[in-house]
Amino acid sequence: MPYIGAVIAAAFPLALAVAADPGWSMLVWTLALFLVVEPVVGHVVEPMVYGHSTGLSPVAVVASATFWTALWGPIGLVLATPLTVCLVVLGRHVERLEFLDVMFGDRPALSPPEIFYQRMLAGDPTEAADKAEEFLKERSLASYYDEVALKGLQLAQADANRGVLSDERLVRIRDAVSELVDNLEDGGERPPPKPDVVSNPEASSAAESVASDHSAEEDIPVLLPENLPPEWQGDAPVLCIAARSLIDEAAAIMLSQLAAAHGLKARTEGPEALSTANVLRLQTEGISIICLIYMDASTPAHMRYSVRRLRRKFPKGIIMLACCAKEIDDGMLESLRENAHADVAASSLAEATRRCMDAIRLPDLGAGAETKSSGTTAA
């Protein structure tokens, strides 16, 4: 469709230039002004000020142009996109008109955590990894895990608590998360995240869902092996154990990879490792800290007995309770830690990684009053 706005705007100044100047110089300069300024404003200034897109899907652009042209003719064709953008903006800010944003907007209808959960449930980690790579151009890995992946697992945990997830689906979610983590781990060195570089609507929506001042990963140093104490230089000084379910194991896999991305090698054990018989056979040589991961905060007794078993096997090490349940506050987290007699506690994967970093500077901890005091300070 030809853009006629600039031509109409230039017609009157050109006519005035012809009438005011007997020569051709004023006409030429006026024409040159429009030929230079209009492209600069239209293709450089306005995109920077107004954004990178109208927020409309391609189908909505075609459908709106057809509808408004049939209704109002050429005037409808000119006004089609602005009118449809107005409808999309109303849909984004007025709850009862949200269907307009879903119909015409280019943003996905589901939230980023819901999309993540849907892809894990469908066993499609490749597509999830592709969108995660786009997300990582603008935000950090810790942001993706905490704000997208972990919240998606919280949705899965809610469905599991309602009894609507079969064992087969739980296995599929765990395996899909494991493959996703492997794909992200093979991504190699990534440049520092930069704002406003994501063009994919789905990844852009996920990046926008994370606050621009979210600095979860920026506060976590990347440690070099030679700078670690000798007891932290083993093959896997961090042991991440899933507490009860395969969803816990999926979160443990992500925590293990996030810790490794910051210089702390880690390994993961499934929930079967916490049974009385398996705890005795648990390999703790070279382990400096054990992270016990829960996606459900409704089982404080299970937390207490699990920490007790691990304490018998790992008497002088640090045990961290990573409770990543939905809507858990600091007071509830501290209460769970005290009840379980864990050394430190965390409510997210980024916080758990920071606790591991803090533990490197802690003295050798053991059970008892000194452990509780140090754990409270770190938490």
- Report the SS3 class of residue 300: helix
Instruction: Please report the pLDDT score of residue 368 as a whole number.
Output: 37
Where exactly are the structural domains of the chain? 5-104, 112-209, 225-378
End-to-end CA distance of the chain: 61
Q: What is the DSSP letter of 24?
A: S
Average of pLDDT values for 201-207?
A: 58
For the ranges 45-49, 214-218, 348-352, 372-376, the lowest mean pLDDT is seen at 372-376
Cβ atoms of residues 271 and 245 within 8 Å:
yes
Instruction: Please report the pLDDT score of residue 320 as a whole number.
Output: 96
Buried b (16+ CB within 10 A) or exposed e, 294-306: bbbbeeeeebeeb
Domain 225-378, second-level architecture: 3-Layer(aba) Sandwich (3.40)
Average of pLDDT values for 192-196?
A: 55
- Is the per-residue pLDDT at 50 higher than 50? yes
Q: How confident is the model at residue 365 (pLDDT cuts 50, 70, 90)?
A: very low
- Report the SS3 class of residue 320: strand
Tell me how far apart the alpha carbons of residues 259 and 353 are, in angstroms, rounded to a whole number. 6
Over the stretch 19-42, which tens digit does the pLDDT of each residue have? 998 888 999 999 999 889 888 887
Rounded to 5 degrees, what are φ and ψ at 101? -65, -40
- Is the per-residue pLDDT at 202 higher than 80? no
For the ranges 6-10, 208-212, 286-290, the lowest mean pLDDT is seen at 208-212
Average of pLDDT values for 275-301?
A: 92
- Is the per-residue pLDDT at 213 higher than 50? no
Average of pLDDT values for 236-251?
A: 95
43 or 119, higher pLDDT? 119
Q: How confident is the model at residue 92 (pLDDT cuts 50, 70, 90)?
A: confident
**Residue 285 burial (CB < 10 Å; 0-12/13-18/19+)?**
exposed
- Is the per-residue pLDDT at 176 higher than 60? yes
**Residue 57 burial (CB < 10 Å; 0-12/13-18/19+)?**
middle
Tell me how far apart the alpha carbons of residues 310 and 319 are, in angstroms, rounded to a whole number. 8
- H or E segment to which residue 344 belongs: strand 344-346
- Report the mean per-residue pLDDT for the chain: 83
Instruction: Please report the pLDDT score of residue 371 as a whole number.
Output: 35
- Is the per-residue pLDDT at 211 higher than 80? no
